[in-house]
Amino acid sequence: MGEPARAVSPDGRASLPGGPRGMLGQSVDRHVGARTAKALGKLGIRTVADLLRHYPRRYASRGRLSTLRELRLGEHVTVIAQVASADIRPMRAKRGAILTATITDGTDRLTLTFFGKHRGSLEYHQRRLRTGATGMFTGTVGAYRGSRQLTHPNYETFDDLDDEHEALGRAEWPIPIYPASQAISSWTIQRAIAVVLEHLDAADLPEALPADYRRAHGLPDALTALRWIHEPHGDEDWKRAQKRFRHEEAFVLQTVLAQRRAAALASPAVARPPRSDGIRDAFDARLPFELTAGQQEVGRVVEEELAGTVPMMRLLQGEVGSGKTVVALRAMLQVIDAGGQAALLAPTEVLAQQHLRTVLDLLGPLAEAGMLGAADQATRAVLLTGSMSAGARREALAAAASGEAGLVIGTHALLSEVVQIPELGLVVVDEQHRFGVEQRDALRAKAAATPHLLVMTATPIPRTVAMTSFGDLETSTLRELPRGRAGVSTTVVPAHLPRWIERTWERLRQEVDKGGRVYVVCPRISSSGSGDDVEEVADLDDEDVEAYGSAEQVIFGGTGSADRRTMASVEDVLPMLRELPALEGIPVGQMHGRMTPEEKDAAMADFATGRTPVLVCTTVIEVGVDVPEATMMLIMDADRFGLSQLHQLRGRVGRGSEPGVCLAVTAAPPESTTFERLSAFAESTDGFALAELDLKLRREGDVLGASQSGRSSSLRLLRVLTDADVIDAARTAARDLVARDPELTSEPGLAQMVAESVDEESAAYLERA
């Protein structure tokens, strides 16, 4: 693949050709001592710009002591507290002395421990830690004989600071508390920033926000905002500064997206107007159902966009089963009618193969060009994946290159340079969140003219996330499911109640006896080995998932008392189900990401035909796989998955006329927040509501997805869920600006920050590639 020719330093960061100008690009060691510079480096801070963007996590004040009760073991903390006592005593077993001090917030206490070679070496601390003195203390919370303590903490008492502070009249100023580490304290960071701020003047700083935008939103300029966020004289200062930086982050990001969109729209597409009596009309006539109102509406928008020379750039979202594929196929057929070709890019081999089958089923003789009895308007659909035999591959490549294949379906293999699709008029990307923008561009580069683009995603994306992650695309949504869908009802099953578990196996048996199919989804492939066999499991906090029992105990009933629960795995669950008396005589199959494509295909086929009506699997079945007879899904350790993912998983069942059942098995205690989260999942069928809830529970980086990580790294203060108004305002203004001044010549500061952001993103992409 063609890689952007950019300098990437050993730590993976990109630098602009020549590097950012002025003071911001300077290494911090020009301003601070070598030790401080090294400690800052460990926090990822290398340049002056990095340092200035290391914003305080919160602000404290002298009068307000920290709540010590909330400190957690192992956490690196900075607290404000009062010294209650400080005593030195000799060590019992060895030579040396110990200073034990107690600090308090008025209610709870924390111990500070210092070891010295002799009493004299500790007296310095004892003098400073005078009873009644308040100060800041920092260290990693440990435990000794049941009480929490900081060993050799770093600290500063306000007494120490008073001379300096009183002289400056800053005793009452808010105290910024920075993300710090064992190697460098919050106040050392604060001093380093103060040094840099002192030498900084407005000319050093790119001003990303246009003056009229700042005026309209009451935002300070860049230099003022930096001073206010790092050295506020009152709470109002840092609040206004944070607001400015949220706008700045949104504005830079939206400008990147607006430019990308403008660039894509600038080179024209070939107009692909609909044709009557073409393959699309023939397809519509063949369809065994009526299009839903939503499908018709989106269909009209897409039809019109394809007919124009402005490239379509559209995101189509809708739940699993909402009928996106049909909409996409009709669009592809319109392009074929106009003499073009269409490519469908799927994230996995299984999905690519399934897409091919679906397309061949739906098209029937319309996909049999060149064969006896084919329809007049017929075309050909070919598959291109990494695991094809050389012969099949050569044949598919030839059909794509000659234009004989109107439809080219495949995985990442489609991106390879040897694949030629000369009349490529439309690219459909299934499950966008697994593809980066660069991959989209690689496909686009195959055609002489810019192809139209339709991105489909089954994960409902909250509006502001769409505006952030997919901000260069217009969005369409299919909200209704086709009629005749029976839907899914969900129940949370507490794993520690044997009666529930027994009942679960009875239900499973009934389902199979009725002719249904059952998925048993596990978070892991095997129980041995570590993280790498976890397939796409959300990385959620599991603090309140208590030790209830292993998968074995869950399946056979009974309560376990293992300290560390093992997550259910395909390898463990499969033999257990095969031995379970309640399921005697029922063949059980398996499917997971470590199987070869042939094995997966065979497993899926056995499941679909009912040869193995129970399939123990990982989330490889998450996307797209369609078995209408599947009526039940059991999700083991359901708490290990994110809400959106759970919702997507259960979309695999209840796709036919029989209602679906989803049982979410969890060992989380019923009163835990984890259990509550699962209950919310059970009660709601609204994918958008669940996606928003997910967003509230997760970190932003996760939400924006791996492919967006380059960008999310530049979001420090902006929160996509709560800052909708900021994102809205920035997007409108950024699009206006780019329309007026595509090269941003009127806003050099913004141009510089946009360049840096794009660079960071591509560096992050190269790192992953």
CA contacts within 13 A on the Cβ side of 597: 13
Please give the residues from 321 up to 350 whose contact with ligand ADP meets the rule CB under 6 A. Answer: 321-326
> Which of ligand ADP, Mg ion, none binds 691 (CB below 5-8 Å, type-dependent)?
none
Which residues within the stretch 595-624 sit at the binding site for Mg ion (CB under 5 A)?
A: 624
Q: Which stretch binds ligand ADP (CB under 6 A): 31-39, 200-208, 316-324, 486-494?
A: 316-324
Picking from 124, 102, 104, the residue whose alpha carbon sits closest to that of residue 113 is: 102
The two most distant CA atoms of the chain are separated, in Å, by 100
- Report which of 203, 206, 240, 210 is spatially closest to residue 225, judged by C-alpha positions: 240
The residue from 116, 274, 482, 593 that contacts ligand ADP (CB under 6 A) is: 482
Spatial neighbors of 551 by CB under 8 A, at least 6 apart, are 522, 527, 566, 567, 568, 569, 572, 573, 576, 636, 637
Which one of Mg ion, ligand ADP, none interacts with residue 613, CB within 5 to 8 A by kind?
none
295 contacts: CB under 8 Å, gap ≥ 6: 323, 326, 327, 478
Min dist. Cβ of residue 398 to Mg ion (A)? 28
Q: How many residues bind Mg ion (CB under 5 A)?
A: 2
The position carrying tokens 């660069």 is: 438
> In this structure, is the dihedral angle defined by the CA atoms of residues 386, 387, 393 and 399, taken in order, positive or negative?
negative
**E-only strand ranges, 592-744:** 614-617, 630-635, 660-666
Least Å distance between CB 654 and Mg ion? 15
Please report, for residues 165, 519, 610, 640, 681, the alpha-carbon distance to residue 663 in angstroms, rounded to integers and kept in the order given.
Answer: 61, 10, 21, 14, 11
Give residues 438-477 in contact with ligand ADP (rule: CB under 6 A): 458
Shortest Cβ 295–ligand ADP spacing (Å): 6
Query: Measured from the CB of residue 482, what is the shortest distance to ligand ADP in angstroms?
Result: 3
- Selected from 295, 348, 385, 612, the binder of ligand ADP by CB under 6 A is 295
CB under 5 to 8 A by kind: which of Mg ion, ligand ADP, none does 762 bind?
Answer: none
Nearest-angstrom CA–CA distance, 674 and 639: 7
Reference 381, options 509, 283, 315; nearest CA is 283
Binding partner of 294, given Mg ion, ligand ADP, none, CB within 5-8 angstroms per partner class:
none
Q: Are 377 and 274 in contact (CB under 8 A)?
A: no
Phi, psi of 103 (to 5 degrees): -115, 155
The distance of closest approach from Cβ of residue 429 to Mg ion in the complex, given in angstroms and rounded to an integer, is 12
Q: Print the binding letters for residues 611-650 with ligand ADP: x by CB under 6 A, - otherwise.
A: ---------------x------------------------
318 binds ligand ADP (CB under 6 A): yes
Q: Which two tokens stand for residue 726?
A: 């900021």
Q: Which stretch binds ligand ADP (CB under 6 A): 306-314, 318-326, 582-590, 758-766?
A: 318-326
Tokens of 365: 């003789």
Backbone angles phi, psi at 633, to 5 degrees: -135, 130
Provide, rounded to whole angstroms, the least separation between the CB of residue 624 and ligand ADP.
6
Q: Which is nearer to Mg ion, 325 or 569 (by Cβ)?
A: 325
CA distance 313 to 315: 7
Interacting residue with ligand ADP among 47, 111, 188, 292 (CB under 6 A): 292
Name the minimum Å distance from CB 359 to ligand ADP. 10
Separation CA 316–CA 330 (nearest Å): 14
What is the spatial distance between Cα 572 and Cα 578, in angstroms, rounded to a whole number?
11
- Total residues in contact with ligand ADP, by rule CB under 6 A: 16
Residue pair 469/705 in contact by the 8 Å Cβ criterion: yes
Nearer to Mg ion, 461 or 540 (CB): 461
Instruction: List the structure tokens of 52.
Output: 């200035």
Could you tell me the smallest distance in angstroms from the CB atom of residue 228 to ligand ADP?
48
Shorter beta-carbon distance to Mg ion: residue 350 or 695 = 350
Residue that is written with structure tokens 């603090």 in the block: 543
Cα 634 to Cα 664: distance, rounded to the nearest angstrom: 6
Shortest gap between Cβ of 328 and ligand ADP (angstroms)?
8
482 touches which of Mg ion, ligand ADP, none (CB within 5 to 8 A by kind)? ligand ADP
Q: Which stretch binds ligand ADP (CB under 6 A): 222-230, 290-298, 539-547, 743-751?
A: 290-298
With CB atoms as reference, the residue minimizing the distance to Mg ion is 325
Alpha carbon distance 166, 574 (integer Å) = 70
> Contact region for ligand ADP (CB under 6 A) — 15-23, 287-295, 390-398, 754-762?
287-295
Check: CB of residue 401 under 8 Å from CB of residue 426. no
Give min distance, CB of 520 to Mg ion, in A: 22
Q: Residue 295 or 353: which CB sits closer to ligand ADP?
A: 295
Alpha-carbon 769 to chain mean position: 17
By the 8 A CB rule, do 678 and 694 touch? no
Phi, psi of 579 (to 5 degrees): -95, -10
* 204: partner contacted, choices ligand ADP, Mg ion, none (Cβ within 5-8 A by kind): none
444 binds, among ligand ADP, Mg ion, none (CB under 5 to 8 A by kind): none
Taking the CB of residue 248, how many other CB atoms lie within 10 A of it?
25
Kindly report the backbone phi and psi dihedral angles of residue 269, in degrees, each rounded to the nearest multiple of 5, phi listed first. -95, 165
Q: Name which of ligand ADP, Mg ion, none residue 715 binds, using a CB cut-off of 5 to 8 Å depending on partner kind.
A: none
Quick one: which segment of 163-171, 317-325, 584-592, 736-744 binds ligand ADP (CB under 6 A)?
317-325
Q: Which residue, 292 or 631, is less far from ligand ADP as judged by CB?
A: 292
325, 354, 464, 504: which one binds Mg ion (CB under 5 A)? 325
Q: Which residue's CB is nearer to ligand ADP, number 318 or number 340? A: 318
Segment lying near ligand ADP (by CB under 6 A), choices 88-96, 314-322, 600-608, 698-706: 314-322
| 341-345 vs 405-410, strand pairing mode | parallel
The alpha carbon of residue 213 and the mean position of all alpha carbons in its chain are separated, in whole angstroms, by 30
322 binding partner (options Mg ion, ligand ADP, none; Cβ < 5 to 8 Å by kind): ligand ADP
- Minimum distance from CB of 385 to ligand ADP (Å)? 19
Check binding of 291 to ligand ADP (CB under 6 A).
yes
Whichever of 82 and 358 has its CB closer to ligand ADP, that residue is 358
Residues 246/725, Cβ–Cβ less than 8 Å: no
Q: Using CB under 6 A, which of the segments 291-299, 418-426, 608-616, 723-731 binds ligand ADP?
A: 291-299
Choose the contact partner of 656 out of ligand ADP, Mg ion, none; CB within 5 to 8 A by kind.
none
Residues 84 and 103: beta-carbon distance below 8 Å? yes
Q: Which residues contact 231 (CB under 8 A, 6 or more apart)?
A: 173, 176, 194, 197
CB of residue 351 to Mg ion, shortest distance in Å: 8
Interface residues toward ligand ADP, by CB under 6 A = 289-292, 295, 318, 320-326, 458, 482, 626
Q: Summarize as ranges the residues that interact with Mg ion (CB under 5 A).
A: 325, 624
